[in-house]
Structure 1
Amino acid sequence: MVSSETDARKSPLVSLIAGGLAGGVECSVTYPFEFAKTRVQLHSSDVSRNPFSVIKRVIEREGVRSLYKGCTTLIAGSVAKDAIRFISFDTIKDQFKDPETGTLSPLRNLAAGITSGVVSSTFAVTPTERIKTALIDDARNEKRFRNPWHCTKTLIAEHGLGAVYRGYVATTMKQATTTAVRLGTYNILKDFEKVRGIPQTTAITFANGAVAGVTVVALTQPFDCLKTRAQSVRGAGVVEAFQSIWAEAGVRGLWRGSTMRLGRTVLAGGILFTSYEAIAEVITPLLGKSTAAA
């Protein structure tokens, strides 16, 4: 069971550690879905909506290792992203919650999520998503990049430091809305249950995270598709990315990869929040003892 006492006593350090570790766990488990989604969004020839079909085809043509191209970069980015996202969200949330009930209004939940998303996009998400996407794109065609570090050095040498921030606008729009919707939905559900005395069991936490994941995909998929196109090896501006998607598939193209992302996001939402709450519950008393001893 997730302790409400632990939730009430979360410190910034607990949010930082628990968020980072939860992000790493979630990314490691769900990466094949992310790979399939990115591949479909980059190449119009990959039109299957079945992520398992895409994964099977990649394994047959390129080998199992290709399926995890860019995974280490995304794990590093996810650890940083979720550490920043949870600590900034929890800090902002504490400033605006009702002192009597300890809850936030839906509007304030969303505002806290948007702010947290912009922060995490700037300091973690955009650079790591850019390298991950470039690696996945390169693995299908030229195969120039040996590893994430080689990819980073090559892109900077060819296009300057701004190369790792290619797609920043689309990524930040996606990240801000995703964080607002995911954390906002999750905390709205959690506050609803808290007021009504519903116990925060592991199953309830996983279900809340999964519902938040479905909501995220339904509302933010066009931003995700634009971000992926903008961060291909060749790169593109948001307008150019939109035009290329529209020319290929019309408005439906903006929702390309949604099945893959839905599969990953529903699973990821459950894993992320369940891991976060469980890790926070374990480390809060340990950090409290360390502080007391100091």
Structure 2
Amino acid sequence: MVADASNRTSPLISLLAGGTAGGVEAFCTYPFEFAKTRVQLYGHGGVRNPFRVVGNVIKQEGLPALYKGCSTMIVGSIGKDAVRFVAFDGIRKVFEDPETHTLSPAQSIAAGMATGVVASTAVVTPTERLKTALIDDARTARRFRSPWHCVASLAREHGVRRALYAGYVTTTLKQIGTTGFRLGSYSILKDWERRSPWFRDPGEGRRRRHVVDVDGPVMSFANGALAGTVTTLATQPFDTVKTKVQQARAVGGTLDAARAIVAEDGVFRGFWRGTVMRLGRTVMAGGILFTTNEQAVKVLRLMLGQ
């Protein structure tokens, strides 16, 4: 998120707006996440259409199965995106130009990557581990009665560290790439638009040569969707390995999971397995996330008189 010098977003508003955006985005896009995880774990007979995967799951296992693990992901997304936006707002201040309050492309990506480490350690790895284990269990043993029962069972079997932090390395690498590309590319686009004569910045109190409100929902959604596309293509291998490591049935460490993926499908098909599903989700998710966040910031500023 980009803020000019006269209109800084307070940490409280960043926390509340980011959490709201994360929860809305997770609920709206969960069927794509479910389909992507199932394809990464089982292949689903070579089906790459997320709507067909979702339809098959509903037909064979019922609608409730489609949302197995959704509550865990919503809670995790609220925490993840609250931490992301607060951390990124703080970290970008260290990198930004003190006069223009903008970042170079390299600085934007570096700030996003640092934010990814914070988010992975604090929230993302534990919630991704539980979500993946619950989705895997719904297809196999069906022994977990709830997210809390899942945590307790995995802790008894593997210890607390592996119960919550299995796949930490690949999740963190994914978050470094995901957050670096998503927040970084979004920040680059916003900074460019604020400097461009073709966009209107309402904070300046005057209309530029044309056309689109930089902070309006249309541009927020378009920028978020473009950032989501770049993010998905760049980080899919980390996501595929992470999913394999975090399934309910132990498959060993990161290298064991990577070898199993290559043995099953080869390098390209294996590591980019589930790309279509994840691309469908992240394009929507990027648009929903940044649009909801920026609109929530405006509402919260009015409510809190800032």
TM-score band w.r.t. shorter chain = over 0.9
**CA displacement at 1:46 relative to structure 2:** 4.1
Equivalent pair of 1:84/1:120 in contact (CA under 8 Å): yes
1:26 equivalent to 2:42? Answer no
- Give the conservation status (yes or no) of the 8 Å contact 1:39–1:46: no
SS at match of 1:143: coil
Q: Tell me what 1:292 maps to.
A: none
- Identify the residue that residue 15 of structure 1 maps to in structure 2: 14
Unmatched 5+ residue regions in structure 2?
Answer: 200-212
Q: Which moved more, 1:195-204 or 1:50-59?
A: 195-204
1:48-127 correspondence to structure 2 within 5 Å: 48-127=47-126
Does the residue aligned with 1:43 lie in a helix, a strand or coil? helix
Report deviation, 1:47: 2.2
- Structure 2 residue aligned with 1:166: 166
Give the drift of 1:97: 1.3
The alpha carbon displacement at 1:202 in A equals 1.2
Look up the match of 1:234.
249
Q: 2:292 aligns with which of 255, 275, 279?
A: 275
Question: Secondary structure of 1:83's match?
Answer: helix
| Structure 2 CA distance for aligned equivalents of residues 259 and 3 of structure 1 | 29
Alpha-carbon offset, residue 7 of structure 1? 8.6
Cα deviation for residue 5 of structure 1 reads 6.7
User: Which residue identity is paired with 1:9?
Assistant: R
**Worse-matched range after superposition: 196-205 or 270-279:** 196-205
- How many Å apart are 1:254 and its aligned residue? 0.3
**Partner Cα distance (2:298, 2:2) in 1:** 7
The residue that corresponds to 2:202 in the other structure is: none
Structure 2 equivalent of residue 177 of structure 1? 177
- Extract structure 1 runs of 4+ deviating beyond 4 A: 2-7
Partner residue of 2:210? none
Structure 2 counterpart of 1:156, one-letter code: A
Q: Deviations over 1:206-260 (max 9, x none)?
A: 1000000000011000000000001001233110110000000001110000000
Structure 2 residue aligned with 1:193: 193
Q: Which has the higher contact order (CA 8 A, sep 6+)?
A: 1
In the alignment, is the contact (CA less than 8 A) between 1:6 and 1:284 conserved in 2? no
Q: Distance in 2 between matches of 1:61 and 1:93?
A: 47
Q: C-alpha displacement at 1:158, in angstroms?
A: 1.2
**Counterpart-to-counterpart distance in 2, 1:121 and 1:140:** 26
Q: 1:212 and 1:150 mapped to 2: Cα distance?
A: 36
- Give the residue type in structure 2 aligned to 1:102: H
Amino acid paired to 2:221: F
1:245 to 261, 264, 271: 261
- Cα distance per residue 1:53-89 (max 9 Å; x no partner): 1001100110000000000000000000000011000
Q: Percent identity?
A: 56
For residues 128-154 of structure 1, give each alpha carbon's deviation from its aligned partner in whole angstroms, at most 9, with x where no partner exists: 000000000000010000111110111
TM-score, normalised to structure 2, is 0.91
Return the alpha-carbon distance in structure 1 between the equivalents of residues 217 and 6 of structure 2. Answer: 14
Instruction: Identify if the C-alpha distance between structure 1 residues 208 and 48 changes in structure 2 by more than 3 Å, giving closer, same or farther.
Output: same
- Aligned pairs, number: 288
Cα deviation, 1:142-182, whole Å, max 9, x if unaligned, reads: 00001111101110111110121000000000011100000
Query: Where do 5+ consecutive residues of structure 1 fail to align?
Result: 290-294
Q: Is the 8 A contact 1:245 1:254 kept in 2?
A: yes
Shift of 1:45: 4.2
Q: Which amino acid aligns with 1:194?
A: R
CA 1:95–1:4: 2 relative to 1, 3 Å: closer
2:236 corresponding residue in structure 1: 221
Give CA deviations for 1:96-117 in whole Å, capped at 9, x if unaligned: 2112222101111111111110
Give 2:189's aligned amino acid.
L
- Alpha carbons 1:6, 1:281 under 8 Å: kept: no
Whether the 8 Å contact between 2:2 and 2:190 is mirrored in structure 1 is no
Q: Distance in 2 between matches of 1:46 and 1:229?
A: 17
